[in-house]
Amino acid sequence: MLITKKLAAEFIGTFTLVLIGCGAAVLAPQQVGNLGIALAFGFAIVAMAYGIGPVSGCHVNPAVSFAVWIAGRMSRGEMLGYWLAQFAGAIVGAGVLYVIASGNLQYTADSGLGQNGYGTGSPGGYSLAAGAVFEVIATFLFVVVVLGVTQRHAPAQLAGLVIGLTLAGIHIVGIQVTGVSVNPARSLGPALWVLGDALSQLWLFFVAPMIGAGLAGWAFRVRLLSGDGYGADQSQLH
């Protein structure tokens, strides 16, 4: 399969995740509440898992691609290509959301774009330490699910649904803590348009998810969490 197809799929998938997930937070927060926002992120992943999963594996998250590489399921060059596509998709998705939101005369960049943060940037006023702990653990658990359900012989038909529900559950728990990143691309997109604290606090949402994802990838690399007879070469949702 041509790498250009995979990169196009990752761009579209990450674009969709940011536009739909952050869009719920920006365009309809009072109508859907935190539960609706959480489900929007989860539904976006479910849709893309079945829509682009057969093409690229539907990583739509640099932390997931990093874990897949650590686990030995993709090459470093392919991972770097995925990163470029994912970050580009997130930036464009956030940009489109900004254009739509700006159609409301009461909206300004200060109103936010679904960005992540801690301290004064946290929706619930949670500290840097709390945000770091949540992001590391939440990413670890999320990636364990991703790598687990995409192992050889795992029930692949349900993989997209399981991954999406897991992401929704994580958002239900953590929206008030950091807005939930577990995805550096999802954090970068809105931050580049909002600037200010969103950009200055962005480092956490690169470092913490990568730590959590790296630990999960290592656990599969050394077969700590791999099932008996399962291979370490399945990176796609079939």
Q: How many angstroms separate the CA atoms of 11 and 4, rounded?
A: 10
Q: Read off the pLDDT of residues 109-151 as tens digits, 9 standing for 90 and up.
A: 788 999 999 999 999 999 999 999 999 999 999 999 999 999 8
Q: Is residue 232 over pLDDT 70?
A: no
Question: pTM of this prediction?
Answer: 0.92
Q: What's the CATH number of domain 3-221, 1.20.58.740, 3.40.50.720, 1.10.10.10, 1.20.1080.10?
A: 1.20.1080.10
Phi/psi at 114 (5° precision): 75, 25
- Helix %, strand %, coil % of the chain (to 5): 70, 0, 30
CB contact at 8 A, 40 and 21:
yes
Q: Judge whether residue 234 has pLDDT over 60.
A: no
